[in-house]
Amino acid sequence: MKQILTVANKEFHDGLRNRWLVSITLIFALLSIGLTYFGAAASGAVGVTSLSTTVASLASLAVFLIPLIALLLSYDSFVGEQESGTLLLLLTYPLSKSQLLLGKFIGQGSIIALATFIGFGSSAVLLYFQLGDSQIFTSFSVFILSAILLGLSFTAISYLISLSVSEKSKAAGFALITWFLFALAFDLALLALLVGVEEGISQSFLTQLMMLNPADIFRLVNLAGLNSSDVNGALAVAINASLSQGQLFSALLAWVALPLTVAIFIFRRKKL
């Protein structure tokens, strides 16, 4: 356990030193405060709009940003150390492969979690002062918690990439493709399926398909509780057949645990 914490501490400080924590927090805070204030600008008004609109716009923004940031932060965690030779050295230390991986995960995961909490939390506080509605904190804690899980999930996925390739530049390429597939292509494919299949696919089948993408689970978590008037597209269909929040959160958790387990497995078999 001490070993894990030593690695985690180092990774966390790297995140601070490289200004990752500050930049991510700033991005999240600026965008969320901006959306909170100017989300209604399209309808001609400036000022705080309804809670559900705000959370809906924040969620559709976060679903692109968080995976991208998590992948950027962690794609070189292993392949980078392999290239510089420190990975081999670390493995001659009394430190197991799973300890190293979990340590990195805790360190980098804390950066993402903390940035998400502060960044989006700030707009929750702002909204509370404007609206004075304590409902805000319940909605935002669901939003922030699921956003953190989404970030952790993509951190774990980027470890898969980092452990499977042998060059840093390849890892960067794969990270970009992964982001594109999960954040954009998957939804387009779902839409195409909805429109293209004549007899129509059942709602439950569609929801099951969405479980294959952590980004979509994140969307479901945050949009299910809102007025369906704020939601459109494939999601609206899925929401009507929605699973309980508990089930959705366990699915997100599985998307953290599963890639992490597979990453440990790959790491153990990796040739050095």
Q: At closest approach, how far in Å is the CB of 139 from another protein?
A: 39
Residue type, 82: Q
Applying CB under 8 A, the span of 5-13, 117-125, 170-178, 260-268 interacting with another protein comes to 5-13
Which sign, positive or negative, has the C-alpha torsion 11, 14, 16, 20?
negative
The set of residues, in sequence order, having a beta carbon less than 8 Å from that of 18 and lying 6+ positions away, is none
**Which are the contacts of 23, defined by CB distance < 8 A and separation ≥ 6?**
none
Nearer to another protein, 18 or 228 (CB): 18
**Considering beta carbons, is residue 91 or 114 the nearer one to another protein?**
91
Contacts of 264 (CB under 8 A, 6+ apart): 97, 98, 101
Report whether 116 contacts 147 (CB < 8 A): yes
Contact 84, 168 (CB under 8 A): no
- Whichever of 92 and 244 has its CB closer to another protein, that residue is 92
- Residue 85 or 196 having the CB closest to another protein: 85
- 15 vs 109, which CB is nearer to another protein? 15
Could you say which residues in the range 12-71 bind another protein, by CB under 8 A? Answer: 14, 17-18
Select from 11-19, 22-30, 117-125, 176-184 the region that touches another protein (CB under 8 A). 11-19
Residue 73 CB, nearest approach to another protein (Å)? 15
Nearer to another protein by Cβ, of 22 and 89: the residue is 89
User: Nearest approach, Cβ of 146 to another protein (angstroms)?
Assistant: 33
> Cα-Cα-Cα-Cα dihedral of 155, 126, 56, 131, to 10°?
150
Query: Least CB distance from residue 223 to another protein, whole Å?
Result: 40
Closest to another protein by CB, 137 vs 265, is 265
Given a contact cutoff of 8 angstroms between Cβ atoms, the answer to whether 31 and 61 are in contact is yes
Residue type present at position 91 = L
81-140 binders of another protein (CB under 8 A): 84-86, 88-96
At closest approach, how far in Å is the CB of 72 from another protein? 17
Q: Count the site residues for another protein by CB under 8 A.
A: 21
Q: Where are the alpha helices (DSSP H) in the chain?
A: 2-17, 20-38, 51-74, 79-84, 86-91, 97-131, 135-164, 168-180, 186-196, 203-210, 214-224, 234-240, 245-269
In the complex, the smallest distance separating the C-beta of residue 268 from another protein, rounded to whole angstroms, is 12
Give the shortest CB-65-to-another protein separation in angstroms. 25
Contact call for residue 3 and another protein (CB under 8 A)? yes
Q: In the block, which residue shows the tokens 């980098």?
A: 108
Query: Residues interacting with another protein, by CB under 8 A?
Result: 3, 6-7, 10, 14, 17-18, 84-86, 88-96, 271-272
